[in-house]
């Protein structure tokens, strides 16, 4: 089960992509025929507070029942499933290591994991992949770095992986892979032929957490998970009619505060990448926005006003949707769709 978390699989037949967050379960079933993609079925099952918290399964039995209900709601035609582990439970690091064969590279990664990388959890399971070089790196490299490659290391708690694997098996799913959300989003962009030349940021916003992924010419460079709450709040009731207090505690002001916090965190990451990793060799071309908050289109407008690169919602023109197409939202289902696009593992 834990083999090849980051391995890109060949095209499959019908597969499921499953995303579990603190607030919901999202499932998307995809059928692939060559390069043609059709979304057959999809569903979202809200989770009550306390079932999953900060990516941790707090009430296993209730989560299992919610999974059964979500799967039964649409009578999906396959049991092969790909899963995005909650980003709060994952450590992602990029290393510069000698550009050698994977067998030897694995030994170097093991050394780094044991001696130079601190873990936020005990008993980590990890995988790695050698990243492609971005297109702009075709110029001659300096002599001290010409034999280096960039290696992405992903680590997660083995105990957490066991819990989710057990959950899938108990609801009669065939767990095919586990991966990080960033790779799911990148796969969806690749399959959807969504323009991503140059340096871009994918921003995926949920109620409590947001995912920033920097890609350069389609190549993964950096990801960050931040806590910014867009969770809906009730209209305040102030019996004394204090309009000033109401203005600071209203849902509208809470949304604006969250949006500004998101922009500030995104600017901080973009500046870090530009000055420390990119060395000022290229500017950000675009910000691609997805997510499942209620006012995502409004957030796009606020971000457009507050950021220099243009901001646009993720769109996949021509994607075939099966039944209930009126309820489909690419932004909301971007992660499970990207997962399902991995195909059926041999």
Is 85 contained in some domain? no
- DSSP H helices in the chain: 60-74, 102-115, 158-170, 181-191, 243-249, 251-272, 296-306, 330-340
Is 186 contained in some domain? no
> What's the pLDDT at 141?
47
Nearest partner of 35 among 343, 277, 346, judged by Cα? 343
Is 305 contained in some domain? yes
Is 13 contained in some domain? no
CA dist 273 and 281 (Å) reads 11
> What's the pLDDT at 281?
83
Q: What is the pTM of this model?
A: 0.86
Nearest partner of 277 among 221, 202, 218, judged by Cα? 221
> What's the pLDDT at 7?
38
CA dist 83 and 30 (Å) reads 14
Residue whose token pair is 């947001």: 210
Residue 189 CA neighbour count, 13 Å, CB half: 29
The tokens of 12 are what? 């499959």
> What's the pLDDT at 233?
56
Task: Show Cβ contacts of residue 117 under 8 Å, excluding neighbours closer than 6 positions.
Answer: 93, 153, 155
> What's the pLDDT at 122?
76
CA dist 193 and 86 (Å) reads 26
Is 47 contained in some domain? no
Is 237 contained in some domain? yes
> What's the pLDDT at 123?
81
> What's the pLDDT at 5?
43
Are 211 and 181 in contact by the 8 Å Cβ rule? The answer is: yes
CA dist 271 and 284 (Å) reads 10
Q: What is the pLDDT along the chain (346 residues), one digit of tens a residue?
A: 434 444 333 334 799 999 999 999 999 999 988 888 999 999 999 999 999 999 999 999 999 999 999 999 888 999 999 999 998 889 898 899 999 998 899 999 999 888 888 777 778 888 999 887 655 544 444 445 568 998 999 999 899 999 999 999 999 999 999 999 999 999 999 999 998 889 999 999 999 999 999 999 989 999 999 999 998 755 444 555 555 555 556 889 999 999 999 999 999 999 999 999 888 788 999 999 999 998 999 999 999 999 999 999 999 988 999 888 889 999 999 999 999 999 875 3
Question: Which residue segment(s) compose the domain that 291 sits in?
Answer: 195-313
CA 198 to chain centroid, in Å, comes to 20
The tokens of 135 are what? 């297109």
CA dist 336 and 310 (Å) reads 26
Give 160: exposed, middle or buried? Use CB within 10 Å, 0-12, 13-18, 19+: buried
Is 217 contained in some domain? yes
Looking at the structure of the chain, the number of domains it has is: 1
Is 268 contained in some domain? yes
Domain CATH number, residue 214 = 3.30.420.40
> What's the pLDDT at 9?
35
Q: Are strands 284-291 and 311-313 parallel, antiparallel or unpaired?
A: parallel
CA dist 171 and 168 (Å) reads 5
């Amino acid at each position: 089960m834990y083999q090849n978390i980051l391995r890109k699989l060949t095209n499959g037949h019908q597969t499921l992509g499953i995303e579990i967050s603190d607030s919901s379960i999202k499932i998307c079933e995809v059928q692939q025929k060559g390069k043609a993609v059709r979304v057959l079925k999809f569903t979202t099952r809200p989770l009550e507070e306390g079932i999953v918290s900060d990516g941790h399964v707090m009430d296993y039995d209730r989560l299992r029942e919610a999974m059964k209900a979500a799967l039964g709601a649409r009578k999906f035609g396959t049991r092969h499933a790909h899963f995005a582990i909650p980003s709060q439970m994952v450590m992602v690091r990029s290393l510069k290591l000698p550009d050698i064969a994977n067998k030897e590279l694995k030994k170097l990664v093991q050394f780094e994991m044991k001696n130079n990388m601190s873990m936020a959890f005990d008993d980590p399971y990890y995988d790695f992949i050698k990243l492609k070089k971005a297109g702009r790196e075709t110029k001659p490299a300096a002599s001290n770095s010409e034999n280096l490659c960039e290696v992405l290391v992903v680590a997660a708690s083995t105990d957490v992986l066991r819990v989710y694997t057990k959950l899938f098996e108990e609801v009669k799913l065939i767990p095919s892979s586990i991966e990080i959300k960033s790779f799911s989003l990148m796969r969806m962009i690749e399959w959807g032929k969504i323009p991503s030349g140059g340096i871009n940021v994918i921003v995926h916003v949920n109620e409590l957490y947001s995912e920033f992924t920097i890609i350069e010419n389609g190549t993964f460079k950096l990801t960050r998970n931040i806590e910014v709450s867009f969770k809906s709040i009730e209209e305040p009731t102030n019996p004394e009619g204090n309009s000033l207090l109401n203005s600071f505690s209203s849902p509208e002001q809470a949304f604006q505060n969250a949006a500004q916090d998101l922009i500030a965190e995104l600017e901080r990451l973009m500046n870090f990448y530009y000055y420390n990793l990119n060395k000022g060799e290229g500017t950000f071309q675009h910000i691609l926005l997805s997510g499942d908050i209620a006012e995502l289109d409004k957030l796009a407008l606020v971000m457009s006003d507050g950021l220099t690169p243009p901001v646009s919602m993720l769109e996949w023109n021509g994607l075939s949707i099966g039944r209930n197409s009126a309820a489909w939202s690419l932004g909301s289902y971007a992660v499970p769709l990207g997962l399902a696009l991995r195909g059926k593992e041999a």
